[in-house]
Amino acid sequence: FSKCFCQQTDLPAHYQSHYELVTTILRDEIGLQLEESELLDTILGADEMGLQLEEASNATTINSTTTCKSSTHMALVWLTLDILNNNVLLEDTARIHRRFVLAICFWSWYNDDDSTLSSWIHTDGWMKTDHECNWYGIECDNDTGEVVSIHLPHNHLVGSIPMQLASLHQELQRVNLFSNAITGTIPTELRLLTRLVQFDMGVNRFSGSIPTELGQWTHLTELGLESNDFSESIPSEIGALTNLERLSLGNNYLLQGSIPHQLTHCTALVSLNLNFNDLRGTVPQDIVRLSNLEFLGLKSNKLAGSLPWSIGTLQNITQLELDDNILTGKIPMALGMCSSLKYLKLQGNRFTGSIPTEMGQLEQLLDFSVAYNRLSGSIPSELGNCRTLTFFDTNENVRLKGAVPSELGSLQNLQRFRFQKTEVSGEICDLFQNKSVSLFGECKECSDCCADC
């Protein structure tokens, strides 16, 4: 059925008895906490809501004069009809439980303006007679039949996460609702989902704080909460997730406070994305503990202070994004020990001193940007050892001077070299002659080689 209405009419006896049995099973045998017990009592009494059902046992529609109030109510009505139609047996309490919770999820995530499945992109099986394990995006354990995965990314879901999802705690391991339009907060009741290994709510419209209860998901390997509207601070309890491999909290903008040092207890981390937030304080000194890191994103925050020398111990890191902060001091020479580094973004800070010659040890480096800092000295000739370098940006370091090293002219893969608002000089045109390199800077010795001359 597609719409639910309420009339001042008594419930048919056969429906009343089945309804009472369903609620008894859900309340007593399964022990599920329903969100509106008073509403359920009203429905059972039928004195206020007054539901009118089709008398036929194959009834699929409920008529009314006012819109039904909750996803719990809608799910109970549908489930009772489901049992009347013999799609599931009353004796099979496990299936009744699963279908009830999944029905609540559906009624929580449908489009209020069009209460049908048409707002979803993929709808196969949902709210039909199919076995719930065959519904689109639902995966069950072959032996127990319990739901182990809810996978509905990019599916035009709206609404909020129902707290009843927590009652699938026996086997549920993966919940992926990435890139939908879900709002509200993450219910604290979800702390019961202690078997979770993946929880991906990225690119939605969540708000409020990140629940501290997430620290109880000790089996979790992937937590994606990026591109939402979370605020307040990163809970230190996340540090208890020692199996975590991917943590993505970027693009929340309102996420404040410092980076909790407890995050460095997550020693299995391979990817840590905290980009585009309002984080302050310093980069933790004990970041050395995250030896498995391949991606570290801290760009566009308000991090200050110097970059710890220990960052050079991250031997597996390939992408380091520290741009657009307030970092000061010298660029650590130890970065030259990050032998796997391919992308090094340091622009938009307040680094001083010279570009370390140790950068020339980064033989896999593709993209190196130190623009918009306060660097001085000259470009080190050792950068000529970075044979894979394609992009080099030194823009707006007004104290950077001296001739461009001839070794840069031997970089066969270099595509862009930026040196605007610096004192860099030399025979730049001759150096890059016959090479497809885009040059951006003030060329004193020629008039046609540089894009901005």
Task: Report pLDDT digits (tens) over 256-304.
Answer: 999 999 999 999 999 999 999 999 999 999 999 999 999 999 999 999 9
Mean predicted confidence (pLDDT) in 394-408: 95
Q: What percent of the chain has pLDDT over 90?
A: 68
pLDDT(46) > 50: no
Least confident of 12-21, 232-241, 353-362: 12-21
pLDDT score at 174: 98
Q: What percent of the chain has pLDDT over 70?
A: 80
pLDDT score at 27: 60
Among 59-68, 85-94, 162-171, the range with the most confident prediction by mean pLDDT is 162-171
Q: How confident is the model at residue 366 (pLDDT cuts 50, 70, 90)?
A: very high
**Burial of 447: CB neighbours in 10 Å, binned 0-12, 13-18, 19+:** exposed
pLDDT(407) > 60: yes
**Cα of 110 vs its chain's centroid, Å:** 22
How many CB atoms are closer than 10 A to CB 28?
9
pLDDT score at 87: 78
Mean predicted confidence (pLDDT) in 338-342: 97
Among 83, 111, 85, 86, smallest CA distance to 97 is for: 83
- Residue carrying the six token digits 């001077």: 401
What token pair was written down for 134?
């065959």
Contacts of 152 (CB under 8 A, 6+ apart): 122, 136, 137, 176, 177, 180
Q: How confident is the model at residue 86 (pLDDT cuts 50, 70, 90)?
A: confident
pLDDT(210) > 90: yes
pLDDT score at 25: 61
C-alpha span between 27 and 74 (Å, rounded): 16
- CB environment 199-209: b (16+ within 10 A), e (fewer): bbbbbbebeee
Least confident of 33-47, 91-105, 332-346: 33-47
